[in-house]
Amino acid sequence: MKITNSQLEAVAVKPNQYPAGDLKEIAFAGRSNVGKSSLLNLLTGRKKLARVSGSPGKTRTINFYLINDAFRIVDLPGYGYAKVSKSVSESWGPMMEQYLGSRENLLKVVLLVDIRHAPSKQDVEMYEYLRHYGLDGVVVATKADKISRNQMQKQIRTIRQTLGLGGDDIVIPVSALKRTGHEDLLDLMEALLEG
C-alpha cells in the first residue's frame, strides 16, 4: 500500500468529537516520546502532518487522520510521562478507555515500544489491555537506527518475551530517522484492512 493522501480529520478528547464510525481505524499507542507521531509522518511521507517533539507529552488528544479517503490512522496520547499536569494525567485513562473500549470500527492498535529497552511495566499493562479487547498482535519497535543490526535480534527477543507475544504476533523494527521499516508496516496494515 502507498499513502497518497492524508489529512487531520478530527481532534478529540471525548466521543462526541470523534468522526463518524464509518471507516476502519488503526491506532498507534505507546509511551510518550516513543515515536507515534513520527511514525505517522513516516508512513504518510509528510514531515509535518503530526507534531513531533523532543519533549514528551506532545500529543494530548486523540487525533484522527483520514488516509487515502479510505481508512483512518489514530494517533493516541502517550503515557508514562510524569511531568504532565495532574488534570492531564487524570483525564488520560478515561479518554483512552472510552476510545479503546467502545470504538466498533477500531480494527487494531499498534503498540510502539523503544527498541533499545525492555518494555516498561506500563507497556506490558497497555498490551494486556489491548489483548483484553482483541486489539493486540502488532508491535512496532521504534528508533531502530539507535542500535546495531546485531543488537536488533536480541532486543526483539526481549520485547517478545516481556510482552508475552505468541508466534503469530508481529514485531516490526522501524526508523523514522533512517526511513526504514515503514513498507513492512504498510503492507501489514493493508492486509488487516482487507481481512
- Report the interface residues with Mg ion, using CB under 5 A: 36-37, 58-59
Using rule CB under 6 A, residue 103 touches ligand GTP: no
Q: Work out how close the CB of 110 gets to ligand GTP at its nearest, in angstroms, rounded to a whole number.
A: 12
Name the residue nearer to Mg ion (CB basis): 75 or 136.
Answer: 75
- Binding string to ligand GTP for residues 115 to 144, with x set by CB under 6 A, is what? ---------------------------xx-
Residue pair 77/99 in contact by the 8 Å Cβ criterion: no
DSSP lists the bridge partners of residue 27 as: 74, 109
One-letter amino acid of 23: L
For CA atoms 108, 114, 117, 122, give the dihedral sign. Answer: negative
Give the residue from 88, 105, 83, 80 showing the smallest Cα distance to 20: 105
Q: Which is nearer to ligand GTP, 54 or 195 (CB)?
A: 54
Cβ proximity to ligand GTP, 32 vs 44, nearer residue = 32
Site for ligand GTP in 157-176 (CB under 6 A): 175-176
Stretch 26-55 residues interacting with ligand GTP (CB under 6 A):
30, 32-38, 52-54
Q: How far is CA 189 from the centre of its chain?
A: 12
Q: By CB under 6 A, what part of segment 65-84 binds ligand GTP?
A: 77-78
Among 44, 59, 63, 155, binds ligand GTP (CB under 6 A): 59
* Chain contacts with ligand GTP (rule: CB under 6 A): 30, 32-38, 52-54, 56-59, 77-78, 142-143, 145-146, 175-177
